[in-house]
Amino acid sequence: MTVPAQPTPPLLNREQAILEFNRRVLAQAQREDVPLLERLRYICIVSSNLDEFFEVRFADMLDAARDPDSQVSNRDIERVAREAHLLIDEQYAIFNEHVMTRLRDQRIVVLNHADRNDAQRLWVAKFFEREVRPLLVPVGLDPAHPFPQVANKSLHFIARLSGKDAFGRDNRIAIVKVPRVLPRVIKLPAVISEGRQAFVLLTSVIRAHLEELFPGRTVEAFSQFRVTRDSDLEVDEEEIANLRHALRSGLTTRHFGRAVRLEVVNTCPEELSRFLLEQFDLPPAALYRVNGPVNLVRLNELIDQTEADELRFLPHEPVWPQGRLPRGKSMFDRLAKGDVMLHHPFESFEPVVQLLREAVEDPDVLAIKQTVYRTGSKSELMDLLIEAARRGKEVMVVVELKARFDEEANINWAERLEAVGAQVVYGIVGYKTHAKLLLITRREGKPGGKTTLRRYAHLSTGNYNPKTARLYTDIGYMSADPDLTADADMVFRQLASLGKFKTPKRLLVAPFNMHSRMVEHLAQVEAAARAGQTARVVVKINALTDAELIAALLKTAQAGARIDLIVRGACMLPPGLPGISDNIVIRSVVGRFLEHSRIAYFRWGSSESDEALYLSSADWMSRNMFRRIEVAWPVLDAKLRQRVIDEGLVPYLHDSLDAWQLGPDGHSTLVSGAGHSGQQAETGRSAQQAEIRHGGQQAEIRHSAQQALMRLFSPS
């Protein structure tokens, strides 16, 4: 019987989906089972996320609305802006009414000028004179002193002054820049803190002494303000000769892109906020009045300075998988026996560093190739690559210069690598290199006898960044499989030579065959469902926005296949629509660590050959599938495939503590109320907490392969 295809429903708005993800993150700040300083950290994370949202996503949306051929309308922009206003208002309400009041109960206080006693005010006054005032340059506005250049996200004060200036002129508006080099949170000495941990904000220090900057005049009104600008680096890659030089030049102007958002405190007089909007050429809807400090991101400094370990998560130290990867043994000898999987941050990233370190020190290693996307300004891995080049090994590094907000660090690494003779390429014009690959070529054989070249590879769903490897959930995969490593070598050669190569045997590579293979697998599952056979899809990704993949998922579900999607962030597929998407359940897990691994599982029959499981660096977004270099690789080892299911899929489908379920209207609801009740939190199941307890060695409930597989087919 042929099941008639249903029409594709209107997709959810991507920008609203991003805001909905941040609403889920913000909910962490209300959870009774989350330590208090960590709750403040989630508030800071939301502020950081929203900064990037306005700098990139919302700025792109504004650009699209100007294009007559675009489907983005002014009504869409108004709707997204309205949602952003509501979210930010909610964020400050939680900050003031929930987190800061609880911190005061713990004798951790942020003191405004009115709250400070005489001794504290004297200390603040001396601090202002010694540390702050010498760096302040107030600018009174007049024709010779126009409104200053205001960099992206830099904090300023605007003041309205009474009287006339020293030259008898009636210039009433002045601007004071808050120096970035100064700490935004200052801890008061214990001797004047009255038995508490007391802090003052830099803005409060300046505000208390603002009038001293304008001798002979009175500050009638003032406000903090901060402007967010379009910060996407745009270069015409077809018209430039050297991408690195062009981006280095572009970094100097990035901070002065078109303004998209203006933040002021909620007490800012209408006259001043209107003046600022005019200066930045912004409509009233771009004004965000906040009930608290402008830029909550910098309150991370308060978290770092507070001495209260009991208000933080218990320390988590990733374990070295000793049973599968004995310390002190050769990594090459171990990989020659079979593949190794690492589940970060539950398992240590150090084996990856050790693999590269051993390659650098081994005289039989001839060549090392690696991709670099986000590795950080300090990186042992990059230092090792530099050392390898110094030792005369062939080192090739594909540095993605357009990794957003990491451009400068990557440019610096590229220059250092080139200085020691490493071959550095920047990928392919028009495509970001997002694939995570490390390839080592080693000469093996008996001395004086016949030798061969053997390759060893590391592939990952996440970045080569040991710092974020402690904060993000990712899966790393080490292998000496000849076909897999040959495919990896082909990717590197293509990135360098731009030549055409044969279709890889193991790897799927975007923009060539990854998207089509995912669609093919969904078609296989669809056909199995129509034939009444086992039909199952489970996908864990960070974002789902590609229209063709969404259409294929809907078609597969309408044929009767059961589909579970674990989508951390933006998801445009509306689940749960009767007859259209009611076979699709979409979850998002927000816990201690940022979910970052990408896993795709397909089942289209009852035999072992009727399934496929891939790990990948790519999300199901058009940009990943068609405008980036990405890789996905099948997990062919049965035990490792089962381990991915046990640790990367099953626990998330049964999470009752950190999981949210997406509704057809694009709004999420907690799977259970566990996250907001201490009693329920003790009994709820958390995928991340289970892995922490078992150190990445065991799933929360260990079971045979068949039992684990059945849990993929049992109700969530």
Which is nearest to 228 in space by CA: 376, 80, 47, 65?
A: 47
The label of the residue with tokens 């010779």 reads 144
Q: What CA–CA distances, in Å, run from 183 to 12, 82, 131? A: 41, 33, 10
Contact 662, 567 (CB under 8 A): yes
CB-CB contact of 264 with 223 (8 Å): yes
Q: Is 481 helix (H, G, I), strand (E, B) or coil?
A: coil
Indicate the length of the chain as a whole number. 716
d(CA 682, CA 346) in angstroms, rounded, equals 21
- What single string gives the DSSP state of each residue in 260-309? EEEEEETT--HHHHHHHHHHTT--GGGEEEESS-S-GGGGHHHHHH---G
Catalytic residue among 156, 344, 434, 515: 434
CB 327 within 8 A of CB 334: no
> Residue 551's closest CA among 584, 589, 528?
584
Give the closest residue to 360 by CA, choosing from 386, 324, 396, 322. Answer: 386
**Alpha-carbon gap, residue 156 to 225, rounded angstroms:** 5
State both tokens at 228.
Answer: 């967010």
Which long-range contacts (C-beta less than 8 Å, at least 24 apart) are formed by 183-190? 183/301, 184/295, 184/298, 184/299, 184/301, 185/110, 185/298, 185/299, 185/301, 185/302, 185/305, 186/127, 187/305, 188/111, 188/120, 188/123, 189/123
SS3 annotation, 398-446: EECCCCCCCHHHHHHHHHHHHHCCCEEECCECCEEECCCEEEEEEEEEC
CA diameter of the chain: 93
Helix (H) or strand (E) holding 453: strand 451-460
For 70, residues 6+ apart whose C-beta sits below 8 A from its C-beta are: 64
Cα–Cα nearest to 477, from 600, 625, 355, 612: 355
Distance CA 576, CA 582 (A): 4
434 is catalytic: yes
Burial (0-12, 13-18, 19+ Cβ within 10 Å), 229: buried
Of 350, 302, 348, which is closest to residue 103 (Cα–Cα)? Answer: 302
Kindly state the DSSP code that residue 145 receives in the 8-state scheme: B
User: DSSP string spanning 628-681?
Assistant: EEEEEEE--SHHHHHHHIIIIIHHHHT-SSSEEEE-TTS-EEESSGGGG-HHHH
CB 426 within 8 A of CB 410: no
Measure the CA–CA gap between 498 and 492, rounded to whole angstroms.
Answer: 10
Collapse the DSSP code of 460 into the 3-class scheme (helix H, G, I; strand E, B; otherwise coil) and give the result.
strand
d(CA 398, CA 498): 13
Which residues are known catalytic residues? 434
